[in-house]
Each structure stands twice: as C-alpha cells, then as structure tokens.
Structure 1
Amino acid sequence: MAKAKKIKVETGSNMAPESYYIKVTSDGPYLVYGNPPIDQEIILPNEEGSSWVYRKGKHFTPDPAHTALCRCGESKHSPFCDGSHEHAHWNPKETNNKRPLLEDAEEFEGPTMILADNEKYCAFARFCDAYGRIWNLVQEAKTEEEKEIVRHEAGHCPAGRLVLWDKEKEKVFEPPFEPSIGIIEDPGIKVSGPIWVKGGIRIESADGTSYEIRNRVTLCRCGHSSNKPFCDGTHASMEFRDGIPFADTDKEW
C-alpha cells in the first residue's frame, strides 16, 4: 500500500482511514478493501424533471476481505466482477494524468462564492442544471436561498468536478460523507451511472501510485471512459445499463 506521506489530498477533503482503499487492477476489476457499505443510489427529479436528490435502493453485501467491482461493463453479476473482462471488447488502460483536479479547473466567481469546474470529470448526473445553470447562479447568488441552491447543485455532483468556496468564510464547501460506495442509477435518461466513491477513500492505480484523495469521485463502470479510472459521462451516450433491479421492484426501470 502506498505511503500516506506521498498521497495528495484535495483542499476541503479528508482521507478515509487507511483500511479503506480501492485498487485498480491492470486488466480487470476494482478491488475494494475495508468493507465500506455499497448501495444503489437512484437519481430522482424535482418537480420540473431535473436531477435533484438521491434515493438509496438495493443494498449489496460486500466480501469482508475484499470485493471485486466490475469496470469493463460486461458483468452479468453487476456491480460485481464475474470474469467477463477476460473476453470483453474494452481497453482497461488508465488514461487519467494524475494531476490534482483543481490544477486544470476553470473558476467562476460571484459576490459570495467561487466555483471551480473541471469538466474532464463530468459524470453527467445533471444536478448542475436543476434550478438554473450553476455557472450562472454562482455569479449572482447573494441571498441565503440563492446560495443554498448553489451548494445543493455543487454538493450533489457525484464526481466532485464542481468545487465550491465560501468567500467570506474562506472555506471549501463539501457535503459530509462516511466512507461508502454508491452504484448510481439514472432513470431520468434510462441509463446506469458510475461507481460513486464517497468519504475520501483512496484510489490506487495499477502501477501502485495513488490518485489525489477527494471527498467524492466517480469511477467508470461502463468500460469506455476516456479518463479511466474516472467516469467522463460516456455511459450516457452509449446507453449503458447494468440490469440490476431496484430494491422495491424486480424491474430494471
């Protein structure tokens, strides 16, 4: 396991206990250590039909030693690996440049808050458009109600591509998460989303180095992201579906 002193932690995030980490294997699944809870996270809309909240669905029972999660997109036992990667048509190579997310982020400054955005990590969850595009809202937000909408939209971005600063407090806003994993389902566009890693769980590359620790990240599980191991929203354009039923029904949608 990589030494903690060599690990970068994004501003505003905290590293989970060392027992929690995810190992990206060179041509196979993600190996999850530390036994974090794993649940479906189903995106639900507001009254206007835009992504607004998550509802927990099916709970998955992980292996106490380590759990193998599919990253090729072909498993018939999603979200777990069933060995399908050995015959799947996919490229397992990690393509992320390992640069800290904020180094390549664009900033949008308003009277009370600053928003940093690294579009490369977009997981296409669409919370950023719920009550107006967040890039416009942050430049106008003054009242507490306006600021809360910005915080909500930024904080519900599962990939953490949106990082929000409070200018007065000089503090990064991050929703509090315990180490856990979500398997995102997106009924609004009828696709299955990425693996949502929460609470500062360390992601270790196949080469043994660690990616920057972040409070929330999304890992590709359709097998076709151009920013592996992270999600870039490709699951939406390829209409990826994992076939996992929701907890309260035997139907996929």
Structure 2
Amino acid sequence: MTQQKPIDAKVQISKNGPYIVSGDIPLNKEIISTNDDDESVKWTQGQKYPSQGQYALCRCGRSGNKPFCDGSHMKTGFDGTETASRQPYLEQAKVIRGPTMSLTDVENLCAFARFCDPHGQVWNLVGETDNPSASKHFVSQTCDCPSGRLVAWDNETGKPIEPKYEQSIGLIEDPVKGCSGPVWLRGGVQLIGADGFEYEVRNRVTLCRCGASQNKPFCDGTHASIGFSDEN
C-alpha cells in the first residue's frame, strides 16, 4: 500500500492548528456527482486555486477564509489532538476474498462519499468478480473511494488496483448531502503528525476539515451529520 516513488510533497499537521502544505501541491475542489437515484457515480473537478509553494489549510472548520487558515483555531480553542490509529493500513484491514479479486476495508477511515453503494455495494460485488460486469463496477467503485478505506486487490498478482493520481489535494463537495467534505490527499503525499510522526504514505487519504472528526487527523464522515460548509 505504501507509495514507492520519491516524495516531494508533504502536509505537516500543526498542533491544534492548520495543515501546512508544502511542495507546490495543486489544490482544487472535487465534487461528488450523482445519478438520478442520487447515487455517487463520478468525480467532477471544480474550482482550481492559484498555485502556491506553501499554504495553510483550515483544520478547525471555523476560518472565515476557507479553505485557508485565518487563525480562528486560536480564538476558539480548537483541540486537534490526533486520535487515529497509526498502524499501517493492512494491519487494520478486514479482508473479503472473492473469486478473482479481493477487498480490504478499514471502516473507521470512511469519509461517507458513498461510491461503494451502487450496483448492490462493493461488499457484495467482490463475491462476483468472476463476472465481467460486476468486476468492472467493483474496481471503479473501490477506486473512487477517496479515503482509501476500500482497496481492490488482484488475487493472481497480489497487488492493489489503484487509480493513477499526481500529487494533488482535493477539497470535497457533496451537493446531494448539502455539505462540504474532507481534504483529499492524492498520489502519495506525506502526512506528518504534530509530534513529527510520519504516517504511512498512501495513494488516497482524506483529512478532517470540519474540526469534528473523532478519528483525527482523518475524516470520519461527521461533516455530513453536522452540515459543514466551507462557504464563508
């Protein structure tokens, strides 16, 4: 699961403060697009932000200049304590084996993007991966999971099936649920804890930006239940 390529981009978590992004990482909005049944079916790129070598993204959810930090975390006494497991993904994952592919799942990383739901849900599709249609849906739906909670694996090679991403950051918007979602790290961006801990580098990671996750620094879907919006 660990990215093998050189890492030239990083996100430093500041103690009870913002995410400090360095390495000239592109930033844009990513919108969850749905079908007529309001099922999540594709990502649509939204607003692109001007290139910056370094920038600070709000982590407390209260900035008046979202997505960027304006110091509100200091005025509000934000507690950004990192409580998430620091074990590698595979040490936390549940494995569901199918005929030609398998699924790994770390439920507490769920960012509530709901790409897993169409076509009978990926947990059922994995058992039908010897069927070409089911296999196609299984791969596309797991690859669209922004948090990397869900990963598809090729049983023959033993390797994960991952979308190809350049190092970049997306700010997720969820129009159907009427809320703004997490910070989406893509393409192997190094995340460093406030204490200097280097988290496992993964292709897909979602970080809390509403300030209310119980699994910080990662998103746990709370933004949807509280109706978080990054509109200032």
Could you tell me the TM-score, scaled by structure 1's length? 0.88
Query: 1:16: Cα distance to partner?
Result: 5.4
Query: 1:132: Cα distance to partner?
Result: 1.4
The answer to whether 1:168 aligns with 2:156 is yes
Q: How many residues align?
A: 232
Gaps of 5+ in 2: none
Cα offsets for 1:192-242 (capped at 9, x unmatched): 000000000000001111001100000000001111111011111111111
Instruction: Identify the match of residue 172 of structure 2 among 173, 184, 194.
Output: 184
Distance in 2, Cα, partners of 1:185 & 1:215: 20
Amino acid at match of 1:86: M
Alignment map for 1:187-206 (pairs within 5 Å): 187-206=175-194
The answer to whether the 8 Å contact 2:7/2:188 transfers is no
Runs of 4+ residues over 4 Å off in structure 1 = none
Gaps of 5+ in 1: 1-10, 245-253
Could you tell me the TM-score, scaled by structure 2's length? 0.96
Cα offsets for 1:129-185 (capped at 9, x unmatched): 022111011112212221110011100000000011111232210100000000000
The answer to whether 1:109 aligns with 2:103 is no
SS of residue paired to 2:76: coil
Distance in 2, Cα, partners of 1:150 & 1:40: 25
Instruction: Identify the match of residue 72 of structure 1 among 60, 69, 72.
Output: 60
Distance in 1, Cα, partners of 2:31 & 2:7: 28
SS of residue paired to 1:241: coil
SS of residue paired to 2:108: helix
Q: Percent identity among equivalent residues?
A: 47
The answer to whether 1:84 aligns with 2:91 is no
The answer to whether 1:40 aligns with 2:29 is yes
Aligned to 1:146: 134
Distance in 2, Cα, partners of 1:83 & 1:202: 24
Amino acid at match of 2:25: P
The answer to whether the 8 Å contact 2:25/2:52 transfers is no
Aligned to 2:44: 55
The RMSD of aligned alpha carbons is: 1.3
The answer to whether the 8 Å contact 2:111/2:221 transfers is yes
